[in-house]
Chains A and B, each alone.
Chain A
Amino acid sequence: MRKQGLQIAGFAAVVAAIQLATFLTGNVYHLTQLTMSAYYSLVVLGLCILTGYAGQISIGHAGFFAIGGYLSALLTTHNFSAHGGRVVSGLAAMGILARRPDLYGGELLTVHPWPACILAVFAAVAVAYAIGGPVLKLKGHYLAMATLGFGIIVYRIVLGTELVGAADGIYDVPAFPLLPGIAVSGKSSLRVMNYYVAWGFVILGMVFLMNLVRSRVGRALASIHGAEDAAEAMGIPTARYKLKIFVVSAAFAAVAGVLLTHYNGGIGPSESSVMKSVRYLAIVAIGGMANLWGALFMSLILNYLSLRGYFGSFDDAVFGVILILIMLFAHEGLLRRQLLDQIRGAVIRRGGGDDP
């Protein structure tokens, strides 16, 4: 437990140091991309636990991200005042619908971000439950194709539906007041606060997942990854554990989708594209597959570089090349957990000399 606490504290220090560095060098605007990286990292962490630890590949996680983001965006921008009726006024009285001024001085009656967020995440979780059962029965190619298919369906639906803006997506999404005084918003005056809020979410998620990995559930997942039939024979309800972890990982993606949508003030269909899902997978792979910290650091670095446009027009190609290289030369993952031990072992052996 102490080791875990130290790791978290160390990471928090890194986050603070980055903020300090941008402040001292006068590059505060970099925090915007770093904040976005934090939200993408939430998706990556969720996928890491599913693919890295439990060994279940998913090429459809952008779909869950989009379900969360789109639903929250739709509910908080759709004007209900035109609908009238008792249901709408009832919801307004309960505080679920809230009035806010629009850009042109008029008044909008939209769902408050909190209920919208809860509903959006709940919807993603429900979808994950519904498709998780049959999808997770599949293995290998079929599992990959089924999750890819799910991602494509979500992408095609958001791209083809006028209600969610088709190719334009949804914009003018309001800020998300988490607590009094704390809001997820892209305003430049709130940039530093949002940076810490975003990484705060990541740290919370990290603590949750680290505890999960060390628990009974984590050990069950590792056994499923190793040999599913053997795990089943040992009395581990593999199907139930796989479904649970699939839902947890979908929830991570949906929360990230909701928060990033409110931060950016909008969402477009590209967020649900296959390429995004592949990108998350590439980051998990380069992070070392079953290595939460590796995935987190690679996500921070790669998302930041990509969002700042360092890869130029080779943005997607970079992630494709990463995938190929990792799988060809280091398919256990680059930053795998055993790596440190192996290096230590090699050094000791050479230093000891008398080892057979």
Chain B
Amino acid sequence: MNLDLFLQYVVAGITYGTIYGIVAIGFNIIYNTTGIINFAQGEFVMLGGMTAVTLARVLPLPAAILVAVLVTTVVGALIEILFIRWLRHPSVLRMIVITIGLSILIREVALHIWGEGVRALPYFTGTSVTSIRLGGVYISPQVLWVVGISAVVVAILGGFFRYTLLGMQMRACAANRDAARLCGISAKNMVTLSFMLSAGIGALGGCIVSPITYVSYDSGVPLAIKGFTVAILGGLGNSAASAGAGMLLGILESFSVSVLPAAYKDVISVAILLVILFVRPSGLFGSAEVARLKEF
């Protein structure tokens, strides 16, 4: 394998890795405030992408994406309010099954609205064959859009959690729910907010990546499982590490295609998930001591 081909694989890996990182951050936001893994996370990505594609027929592209993100955010809020908010001390098993049920429900609704067809947004700049030459590597401008927007989102999110009152309230809930409530923070509203944030970020991810990966009613589950792999790889709850782990998984996956048939691409990432779960459930960057105290 020469250097140019190697770099080309790396670029492809980073593109996919970014979207896995975005899904993983969605997992982490909800996990941090609730201790729940939202199995419907991939469906938010799908919903964002599908809505944007439909809206793009009547609205200019940026407006379509904005509205799609807002719609998905509202869906996230509705899901939390209807199915999760009023449960008292739900067990982990119960939450797993409910979010799995929700994921099926959203997927089936999408199937009835949009059918089985595969859709995509137009490329943000240029067309599918436009490319920028960097050294010996060809990069689609869309890849730059994906990486750029994701980086901005991660930066804004970091700032939100660190500097705004709302962000700090959410972190307080994540650190100690009871203590946060004693300080007058409405833990329930924070949970709703975390679902909204997570849905919105997932939807944005779905929009920016859809020109490259396409989107269909059933594209949520593979994304969810890979996002989860990345979240575990980086250590559950650690969003910064998720971004790095996303790149790692994306690149591993893209190189696996050069060794194994492309049909087995998903097998690789799931196998990585299993190995991580078996060997080091605290993640590559997480500490085993902290993980032992967490409730799964």
Contacts and interface: CB of A to CB of B under 8 A. Distances in A.
Given A146-B277, A327-B97, A316 B264 contact: no
Given A157-B267, A323-B104, A327-B98, A145 B93 contact: no
B75 interface: no
A145 B97 contact: no
A300 to B, nearest CB: 22
B4 interface: no
Contact count band on B = 35 or more
* Main secondary structure on A side of the interface with B: helix
A22 B23 CA distance: 51
A157 B281 CA distance: 25
Contacts of B63: none
Interface in A322-349: 322-324, 326-328, 331
Contacts of B295: 140
Interface string B262-296: 01101100110110011001000000000000011
Contact count band on A = 35 or more
Given A142-B281, A314-B108, A327 B271 contact: no
A320 interface: yes
A281 interface: yes
A187 interface: no
B184 interface: no
Among B93, B108, B278, B281, the most chain A Cβ lie within 10 Å of the Cβ of: B93
B96 interface: yes
Contacts of B164: none
B263 A144 contact: no
Contact of A156 (B100, B266, B273): B266
Interface string A133-145: 0110111111011
B93 A140 contact: yes
* Main secondary structure on B side of the interface with A: helix
B37 interface: yes
A274 interface: yes
A156 B108 contact: no
Contacts of B93: 55, 57, 140
Contacts of B274: 131, 146, 149-150, 153
Contacts of A217: none
A142 B221 contact: no
Contact of B92 (A131, A141, A161, A324): A141
A323 B97 contact: yes
B144 interface: no
Q: Which 7 A-B pairs have the closest CB atoms?
A: A160-B263, A320-B104, A323-B101, A324-B101, A317-B108, A140-B296, A134-B278
26 contacts: A59-B100, A131-B274, A137-B278, A138-B296, A140-B96, A141-B92, A145-B37, A145-B232, A145-B277, A146-B277, A149-B274, A149-B277, A152-B225, A153-B270, A156-B267, A157-B267, A161-B263, A166-B263, A313-B111, A313-B112, A314-B108, A316-B104, A317-B105, A317-B108, A322-B101, A323-B104
